[in-house]
A and B are shown apart, each in its own frame.
Chain A
Amino acid sequence: MTQVKSLADLRRIKENLQGKMSLRENSNNPESLVQIRVAMATCGIASGAKQVMEFFIEELDKRNIQAVVTQTGCMGYCFAEPTVEITLPGQAPVVYGYVDINKADSIIEKYIKNGELVDGIIPVNYETIQK
Chain B
Amino acid sequence: MATIKLSADKIDELKDVCKSFNNEKGELINVLHKAQGIFGYLPAEVQEIIAKELNISVAHVYGVVSFYSFFTMLPKGEHPISICLGTACYVRGAEKIIEEFKRVLNIAVGETTNDGKFSLACLRCVGACGLAPVVLVGDKVYGRLSPDSVKDIVAEYSK
A and B touch in the complex (CB under 8 A): yes
Which residues of B sit under 8 angstroms from A78, Cβ to Cβ?
A: 128-131
> B40 at the A/B interface (Cβ < 8 Å)?
no
Which residues of A sit under 8 angstroms from B128, Cβ to Cβ?
A: 42-43, 46, 78
> B134 at the A/B interface (Cβ < 8 Å)?
yes
> A47 at the A/B interface (Cβ < 8 Å)?
yes
> B108 at the A/B interface (Cβ < 8 Å)?
no
Q: Which B residue's beta carbon lies closest to that of A80? A: B130
How many A-B residue pairs lie within 8 Å, measured between CB atoms?
28
- Count residues on chain A whose CB falls below 8 Å from chain B CBs: 9
Which residues of B sit under 8 angstroms from A69, Cβ to Cβ?
A: none
Q: How far is the CB of B134 from chain A (nearest CB, A)?
A: 7
Chain B interface size, under 10 / 10 to 19 / 20 to 34 / 35 or more: 10 to 19
Q: Which A residue's beta carbon lies closest to that of B141? A: A46
Which residues of A sit under 8 angstroms from B131, Cβ to Cβ?
A: 43, 46-47, 78, 81
Are B129 and A46 interface neighbours, CB within 8 A?
Answer: no
| Secondary structure dominating the interface of A | helix
> A126 at the A/B interface (Cβ < 8 Å)?
no
Which residues of B sit under 8 angstroms from A77, Cβ to Cβ?
A: 130
Are B130 and A81 interface neighbours, CB within 8 A?
Answer: yes
Q: Which A residue's beta carbon lies closest to that of B140? A: A46
Which residues of A sit under 8 angstroms from B129, Cβ to Cβ?
A: 78
Q: Which B residue's beta carbon lies closest to that of A81? A: B130
Binary interface encoding of chain A residues 78-117 relative to chain B, with 1 for a CB under 8 A from any of its CBs, else 0: 1101000000000000000000000000000000000000
